Amino acid sequence: MIDVEDLIALVRNYNPRCNADLIRRAYAYGLKMHEGQFRKSGEPYFTHPVAVAAILTEQRLDDATIVTALLHDTIEDTRSTYADVAAQFGEEVAELVDGVTKLTNLQLSSTESQQAENFRKLFMAMSRDLRVILVKLADRLHNMRTIRSMSPEKQAQKARETMEIFAPLAGRMGMQWMREELEDLAFKVLNPEARNSIMRRFLTLQRETGDVVHQISGDIRHELEKARIEADVFGRAKKPYSIWRKMQEKDLAFSRLSDIYGFRVICGSVADCYRILGVIHQRWRAVPGRFKDYISQPKNNGYRSIHTTVSGRDGKRVEVQIRTREMHEVAEAGVAAHWSYREGVRAVNPFAVDPAKWIASLTERLDEGDTDEFLEHVKLEMYSDQVFCFTPKGDVVQLPRGATPLDFAYAIHTRIGNSCVSAKIDGIRVPLWTRLKNGQSVEIITAEGQRPQASWIDIVTTGRAKAAIRRSLREEDRGRFVKLGQELARAAFEHVGKKATDKALRTAAKMLGLADENDLLARLGSAELPARRVVETLYPELAQAVAEEVDSGRPVAGLTADQEFRRAQCCQPVPGERIVGITYRGQGVVVHAIDCPALEEFEDQTSRWVDLHWHSGRHKPVFTVSLDLTISNDAGVLGRICTLIGEQKANISDLRFTDRKPDFYRLIVDVDLRDVEHLHMVMTALEAETDVAQISRHRDLTRRP
């Protein structure tokens, strides 16, 4: 464990004016509070807070952050309280320690809905003081460095959480070194065989080719000396996880992977950066499409650098990053550079971003959608790299890598996105699903009356565009859902002998906390709210009385004791739908839906009509309905369709293909259902699946009695 004086010495290296007494008191307090506590490895627990503080000294952070690191587990794991910490170390430190405690208690790898809310809390804590997340990241880094003492299950859980949340967050904050180390430590736990394989291949490559990093670094230095440019050159092999990810993304074997080495050239001025770029491109051939100028177009976390990939020795691709020393400080510390000290004073770095503005840019418009959209947007914002494109007027639009012209349109304005019909890239008309590249000029073509299409959801990549498209589709579907909700409400109320009047629906909406009866009907129609719940809200005693299961042998009321019945196969009526019976000599009564076209031939035979209705209560799922589906001809699609139906507690009794094409299948699926509400739930779930192009209820008028 690092001694308190050694820790103070680390702080004094960059901040000679640090409050050594405050750090000593915090060290002594933390040591006392954690006395008798031990880590899984058997070490005294206080070794962990001290190690976290030491990690933060590498980022040259202020006294309050270092003290917070020493105390970050006291409120959670010891008898210490917020009031105790505030009394001894001040409100600022107490607020920071409390913030870290709350972050520790967030279960970020929990279920989707809970995870969305916890992400909200994470960003709220960050917006109050970003130093909270800096301490939390250092805490996670030390835990990952010492993870081997945990149980295998705990190791896997922590590693997944690190890979999915903390590593991308560190990268988004500009702390690339921490992101790479966190990813590699998690990779070592989650896929040790793959990591060891890459390490073995590296050793083999070094034996075959020698020290490539040293050789290429020497070549770059030689060229810079010839051009009389002063600069430092650093080279390294990329981390195993970075190589593994590239192998997976590009589906390449290690032997075919070229740019596994990276080099940094750090110089004194921006002018030198561009001179160095010219020297490198004159000496080695640049790889097309692998040039990024983050000096003229910085990332919003303050990152500035020039990236280029060239063919080096023996045709090996190498990535070269060129930046000034000030840019390098921000590249290493990211957003944390705002708090860094040099020679006892806050370092004034022109490239360090204001954390408040950075948080605002990261969380911009996140409150527009629901919790699922929030989570989706946050993850997209955290994990994305960026491309920079131009409007026809020359304005720059920043978008995540993989963005399309539709994302570009929505980034300008929601109205532009909603009315987009086509786009031009560098003057050439292109499909809306085209992936944008750095430096392209994009022109959006709009048309009055154009509305977003459901297929756009799969085209766009930004959370803002996805939220806007979903919102528009919801509004467009609202009228259809209200109409369908009216029919579902009518059937549900008739089950208990009541009518779905406007007053009844308004009352139910109020009791359920909804805006009005139209909101209630829309939710009924979109399957967000079951009709049974509306009835139970207004008439709990009646709903309970009819909840008994209906005899599946006699589900229809209105028949005489000796009359047999069967459902018409042309319309396949189900409980909840209005029905009528037609008598057949020697065949009993055939039950049709009231809107069945087959009834037209009986208009003049009123004596054969029988007034029927379904018994009230809970029906068994024995009513077969045929669904006509058109689905994508792709691997796994049919399996997902069957799974979706099963998730709605419906059974598939038959399935037959009616048409097969290279890009789609058409099929009829027979599903056993309870009632019209159950049917609607199944159809809504299938309609929401992106690989279902069309769905309808199959009506076969040739199948008459």
Measure the CA–CA gap between 43 and 13, rounded to whole angstroms: 28
Instruction: Give pTM, 2 decimals.
Output: 0.55
For 258-289, what is each residue's pLDDT tens digit? Answer: 567 789 999 999 999 999 999 999 998 888 87
Q: Please pick, among 3, 58, 62, 76, the residue that the annotation labels catalytic.
A: 76
347-395 residue pLDDT tens? 666 776 666 666 666 555 444 444 455 555 555 455 455 677 888 887 7
How distant is the alpha carbon of residue 256 from its chain centre? Answer: 31
Residues of the chain above pLDDT 90, percent: 27
Helix crossing, 20-33 with 63-71: angle to 10°?
Answer: 10
Q: Three-class SS string for 588-623?
A: EEEEEECCCHHHHHHCCCHHHEEECEECCCECCCCE
Tell me: pLDDT of 231 over 60.
yes
Local confidence band at 169 (pLDDT 50, 70, 90 cut-offs): confident
The single-letter DSSP state of residue 549 is B
Domains and CATH numbers, the chain: 4-190 (1.10.3210.10), 194-346 (3.30.460.10), 471-545 (no CATH), 556-614 (no CATH), 623-697 (3.30.70.260)
pLDDT at 628: 93
- At residue 24 the predicted structure's pLDDT band, cuts being 50, 70 and 90, is very high
Lookup result for tokens 């809504």: 684
What's the pLDDT tens digit per position in 75-91?
888 898 999 999 999 99
As a three-state string, the secondary structure of 429-452 is EECCCCCCCCCCEEEEEECCCCCC
Tokens encoding 534: 């509306």
In this prediction, residue 157 carries a pLDDT of 86
Q: Residues 166-175: what's their mean pLDDT?
A: 80
Does the active-site annotation cover 700? no
Which pLDDT tens digit goes with each residue over 479-504?
A: 778 888 888 888 888 877 788 898 88
Contact of 296 with 322, CB cutoff 8 Å: no
pLDDT at residue 369, rounded to an integer? 45
The answer to whether residue 76 is catalytic is yes
Check residue 298 and give its pLDDT: 83
Query: Which one of 77, 161, 223, 443 is the catalytic residue?
Result: 77
First-to-last C-alpha distance (Å) of the chain: 87
How high does pLDDT run on average in the chain?
Answer: 83
